[in-house]
A and B are shown apart, each in its own frame.
Chain A
Amino acid sequence: MEIKFENVGYIYNEKTPLAKEVLKDLNIEIKPNQINAIIGKSGSGKTTIIEMINALIIPTTGRIKVDNFLIEPEKRIVNIELLRFQVGLIFEFPEEQFFNSTVEKEISFGLKTFKYKTDEINKRVKNALQMVGLDESYLSRNPHTLSSGEKRKVAITSILVFNPKVIIFDEPTVGLDSNSKNNLIRLIKMLKNKYHKTIVIVSQDVDFLHKLVDYIFVLSDKKIILEGNKYEVFSQVEKLKEHGIGVPKIIEFTHKILVNKGVKMGYRDEIKDLIKDIYRHVT
């Protein structure tokens, strides 16, 4: 599914004394069926971008193409619900929005609102649960009593029931321990590989992103300052630091070796591969 930003700008509180421009002449093409990431300091406009993809925010200039939909200033979007079914957005701390007494009610709430038939709802809930790896015993449980990792899965399930083509995650790892993070990595990879979803993740957790992303956009000063696959982006250590963005620990370390000793190491994903390189160099 095509997602393309063309010269998009956004000004909060436009035409008021509080007007603040957060994005200017932004051009982005999200890679379909891949795991895309948008990184940048807080306040750089990352969340504004993702909220534009399902038209929660309409750009003040330029336009966004999402499949057959056009999102542009002062134009009504026909069938906006259809757009929002196709683009699922999972907010930061999604569990804070739980308001039902059982997981089943929580997950099926959206479908009921749109008057889906009971059989269809049951089928979709069952499928979505299976996708995230929760068994049906969870359906009768109170969502507020689940662990943080399980709560995130329930929140993701309540989006998956709409069978979206695109799934957007806003800071998905905040508050999660490393066990839950690793589960989330497996889940997101499966959504891409097995179910062919397009994934967009906004996150400051570069060590998490390093383990799963295919393509990265770096946002700073209202525009994209760098984009490419993770190797192309994270190898720009100095440039990222200048813009207040960290790099994965393994890259930071190999960069230290280069700066302090003039030794260039390869780009490695795993410590065990890095160790082999170090062994070759120092013995």
Chain B
Amino acid sequence: MIWIDVLVQGILLGGLYALFAAGLSLVFGIMRLVNLAHGDLIVFAAFAILLITGTLGLNPFLAALLAAPLMFAAGWTLQRFVLNRVLGKDILPPLLVTFGLSVALQNGMLEIFSADSQRLSVGRLESASIDLGVVTVGTLPLLTFASAVGVIFVLNRIFYTTALGRAFRAVSDDPTTASLMGLNPKSIFAIATGLAMVIVTLAALYLGMRSNFDPSIGPARLLYAFQAVIIGGLGSLWGTLAGGAIIGVAQTFGAQINPEWQILAGHIAFLVVLLIRPRGLFPRAVD
């Protein structure tokens, strides 16, 4: 009984991690860019949603709808004017730039929004739950998981059935040849980062409703997101969801044995997957 509950809660937790990881997976998969500021960008988006709910008095879901295009623009600008300049053979410069961005974002937000713990309030939905007989699951965690599945489904459709997706795959596989075919990899990259920021907004929405956020909590979320991406395999979006679920389940099972094991169990699961399948569970590209 308790173990079924632990399994279900773990999978739902995995949904949250997958949502954190989806944007990262997208950017990583297309341009091999490790965005160390990803966690801080989630917090940034959460503050954007908070500002919109505060000034316009909107429900956080509607506010996120408004924040998404703004974040797309922010992501596009960031890629176009900053990250594109440092992308190249050497992976170190973009890594350093995003690290710097992370520090700047944290302290900038601390300056503007102060260290107060903030929250996206959705009233009764926060504590609502559905009784499934064997287990009781929270409505919000369920919505989070459904959104993660939705995001990954939509992203996959974009990747494999649209012209934009073909361009994504092309510049990911071979930017030089892709540009010979008339694609501009840099503008494709900018669109990809913009899209990643839309997912970041959704992740921010659920993070803000689930728990408090303040300018300093971004990096803590980054590690699990990275692990989900690596476990899933480079470039595989469904793999990212599976990776998130594996870490989530490992953590809840570890915690059930002893809370001290919670984080460690997640890391052990990560190492075991890497030992058995060094390139992740479902790697898409060979590189």
Are A and B part of the same complex? Answer: no
- Which A residues are within 8 Å of any B CB, using their own CB? none
